[in-house]
Structure 1
């Protein structure tokens, strides 16, 4: 707790109606969530200094947020010098940090050294909920599948007639959802490991960790610390902790969690569900957790076709996401028909196993969102014969298991990006007979060349799959831009073939 004179007040700040006036707060980072935090605190009478290293002239969104806060009399300080330590002229009682700021960021280190508490915006949102009848949270984390799961969950909740939304890491700041003028009945909350690291007071109605695989180790310092951050999703859960039967780490995190009395452990599985599980029986999503006679009977929630929707491919990991969402919805009393209707109304976000068309009998699939090895493997296992487009920034991730397990499905591989050599070495060890093409150019326009190489290596019936297993920032603005470039290149190739040409470009790069 803070050593400042008003530091003891923080314990009493447990709802939006508490006395926040006079609190001296540094808001670190003026992204969407930082702006929401500064605005909410200022509105409640807190003294706010908002800092960000960015240049408002080079970032129109940052400049606009800074101008609005300045109009509201928030003290906004922009530039690298303002994030190099705590403001020397401001005796802060509290720091609210952007989720992307690492614990070793100088301002946060200085706050810790001064005994000033650091909260994330999720912690702030939890403490600003309504004093009476606040909307319960259904929280979702995991290395992969979070956004799909919370979006499916929100559809199920709304299909049950509830006023519900998906918020948090999914896009809408959780603080905006909590303070919405028309209160929600329930909120589906996506939480990243960063957000969980800075949260301590949350007590969700129900929670799930979908899976745990190495990711963001550079941020957390070790895989153990990353796993521990994911496990915080279960802390203080009231009704049910949902875990992945196929991922023993998630079950262990439930076993290790301090939960509220009466909280249940509910498993989800792609296999036959046991009691207190949801799973798959033939082509049915079945519930043996929230029925009266769960030892001997099950409730039908939906079919695999309901999960598939309009997609050409039913990816196993999307079935798992649907089961996890269904389990959370059922903890809140959502009836089976609403689970089914929610899945039927759901449409995947872009760049998640998105079909980009078929040319000469070859399917092209954009899974640019597969930004780590765990996600890429799930994508690769959805298809029998794959020409794999992979590479980018691996962020120190180990690709050995990915390549070893994917090898039997690989027709060929086209490598792009800064860390393609790491993948090439793993392929040489575990798939030495698989043709590999190395494309050295990091120009964003190179995707035509990549698609041309992949098309030449594919056979009719194969899938050309962009599932990079890596981040995109070495070549593209983000994974969405990478996926868009791939889809556009596929469109150009298809148009070229339709016009009677071969749709080819001048390929660059060489076969390794």
Structure 2
């Protein structure tokens, strides 16, 4: 039997679970190396069907439909030797349960990508995980690396393939890699040059998986001084001998930390005389969300985390400053869309849990909060509402089965704050109609100097990405008086 741990791909019998962006890239790479590949997915429609047609022409055995995920399939009549698992597959999926019971290795795309790196001069990985801020920090990091003249990219986030970055025909010098708890759970051999866990949310049951980001780190394990859980994960990690623990803080940095001295971002970790001096990396004014100018406190710490990884890689001090100045944020993350009649309108539709929404609420003095949606109420929702109730000018609630829990929390902790309900059509509650109603109601609550914050806490309706809500929110602003 071929052993995948020896990187012997030719003839290897592999089941790829899922035919999304990640699964397609994995199957394609394995087929190119001569593996025998079966791809299974419960959904055989739309883009998944189209990907299946492509992979079929390349030699894969494509099995789409719910009947094909009820058991781990054989590959050409023999047991599988490897299962490659796509994001979103739960622990109780029969395909996964049976693979583990049979002792078959289970990998995420990140593990496969690491093992398929070029043998000669592979690009080092700078890895980022956390409950909140992964995408922002990783994209900031890529911008800083590029400002230093390195061929770099941000990869691993939703909508991108880590494998495509690793196998790019024009190799990168270095990769800024965003890793979810899922990717880390099913990866074992990664050895990043530097790594960071930005935070561990109070309701995060994936902390142990996130801690795996530090395993085998070569140069620097970066942790959040304000989040003791991240430092504990560093202490528990098995790292390459000589790797250092580097903290980042929104306060004055101690030795082996990056932080703030008044409004200056400082490095006391990667300078020769760090016990007595520090390097200036830039200022708070260099860290802004969107050209329109929202400055969120958590993005300053994201910038410090990105700077820590970049400095561990060896970028110049000036590159950190230049990269932060030229960074343009990812959409739907505290983006200031408009300022009309003295009111700022901010899209934070990517905030689909209480921990993320808290970051937005903490950034504004008097927000009108648009929130609600679908899903189970997070355990920290009540605490977030209680903490920020005194700031709220008003709340507009969106429809969804999670919204009643938010309404109850507001009733307990903000009984005097006006709470209005977006109008739901008698037919299907379409995003555009609901958000148009919410925007109109929020405009009526807001006063000059306020911020209307779309930070929903909950997910959207089934099959509806957060980006669709963000786009509908932006579109609805056209009817707000200037």
In which range does the TM-score fall when normalised by the shorter chain?
A: over 0.9
Is 1:404 aligned with 2:404?
Answer: no
Structure 1 residue 65, shift from structure 2 partner = 1.3
Q: Identify the residue that residue 305 of structure 2 maps to in structure 1.
A: 324
Is 1:79 aligned with 2:74?
Answer: no
Aligned-partner SS, 1:300 = strand
Structure 1 residue 396, shift from structure 2 partner = 3.9
Structure 2 residue runs without a partner (length 5+): none
Q: 1:149 to 1:161 in 2, by over 3 A?
A: same
Q: Identify the residue that residue 433 of structure 1 maps to in structure 2.
A: 416
Q: 1:437-466 CA distances to partner (integer Å, 9 max, x unpaired)?
A: 133624321212111211111111111110
Contact 1:391 1:416 in 2 (8 A): yes
Aligned-partner SS, 1:464 = strand
Aligned partner of 2:131 among 143, 166, 170? 143
Is 1:477 aligned with 2:473?
Answer: no
Aligned pairs for 1:431-470 within 5 A: 431-439=414-422, 441=424, 442-444=429-431, 445-470=433-458
Structure 1 residue 359, shift from structure 2 partner = 2.5
Aligned pairs for 1:77-476 within 5 A: 77-88=63-74, 89-214=77-202, 223-224=204-205, 226-308=206-288, 310-398=291-379, 399-418=381-400, 419-439=402-422, 441=424, 442-444=429-431, 445-473=433-461
Contact 1:150 1:166 in 2 (8 A): yes
Contact 1:367 1:467 in 2 (8 A): yes
Q: 1:368-423 CA distances to partner (integer Å, 9 max, x unpaired)?
A: 11111111111111100111111112444120111011112111111113111101
Q: Distance in 2 between matches of 1:67 and 1:443?
A: 32
Q: Distance in 2 between matches of 1:485 and 1:409?
A: 26
Q: Identify the residue that residue 486 of structure 1 maps to in structure 2.
A: 473
Contact 2:423 2:438 in 1 (8 A): no
Contact 2:142 2:152 in 1 (8 A): yes
Aligned-partner SS, 1:150 = helix
Q: Distance in 2 between matches of 1:10 and 1:182?
A: 27
Contact 2:15 2:84 in 1 (8 A): yes
Q: Distance in 1 between matches of 2:285 and 2:162?
A: 32
Aligned partner of 2:27 among 30, 38, 43? 38
Q: Identify the residue that residue 507 of structure 1 maps to in structure 2.
A: none
Q: Which moved more, 1:307-316 or 1:226-235?
A: 307-316
Q: Identify the residue that residue 52 of structure 1 maps to in structure 2.
A: 41
Q: Distance in 2 between matches of 1:330 and 1:238?
A: 14
Q: Identify the residue that residue 505 of structure 1 maps to in structure 2.
A: none
Q: Distance in 2 between matches of 1:283 and 1:359?
A: 29
Q: 1:66-85 CA distances to partner (integer Å, 9 max, x unpaired)?
A: 11111111111111111111
Contact 2:423 2:434 in 1 (8 A): no
Is 1:10 aligned with 2:4?
Answer: yes
Q: Distance in 1 between matches of 2:377 and 2:180?
A: 19
Q: Distance in 2 between matches of 1:417 and 1:237?
A: 44
Structure 1 residue 487, shift from structure 2 partner = 1.3
Structure 1 residue 90, shift from structure 2 partner = 4.0
Structure 1 residue runs without a partner (length 5+): 14-18, 216-222, 499-512
Q: Identify the residue that residue 509 of structure 1 maps to in structure 2.
A: none
Aligned-partner SS, 2:285 = helix
Q: Distance in 2 between matches of 1:136 and 1:181?
A: 16
Q: Identify the residue that residue 12 of structure 2 maps to in structure 1.
A: 23
Aligned-partner SS, 2:468 = helix
Aligned-partner SS, 1:392 = coil
Structure 1 residue 105, shift from structure 2 partner = 1.0
Q: Distance in 2 between matches of 1:322 and 1:316?
A: 10
Q: Distance in 2 between matches of 1:311 and 1:435?
A: 29
TM-score w.r.t. length of structure 2: 0.95
Aligned-partner SS, 1:339 = helix
Q: Distance in 2 between matches of 1:425 and 1:477?
A: 25
Q: 1:238 to 1:118 in 2, by over 3 A?
A: same
Contact 1:170 1:190 in 2 (8 A): no
Contact 1:214 1:397 in 2 (8 A): no
Aligned-partner SS, 1:349 = coil
Q: 1:190 to 1:395 in 2, by over 3 A?
A: farther
Q: 1:243-299 CA distances to partner (integer Å, 9 max, x unpaired)?
A: 111111111111111111111111111111111111111211110110111111110
Q: Distance in 1 between matches of 2:68 and 2:375?
A: 31
Q: Distance in 2 between matches of 1:355 and 1:154?
A: 22
Structure 1 residue 214, shift from structure 2 partner = 4.8
TM-score w.r.t. length of structure 1: 0.89
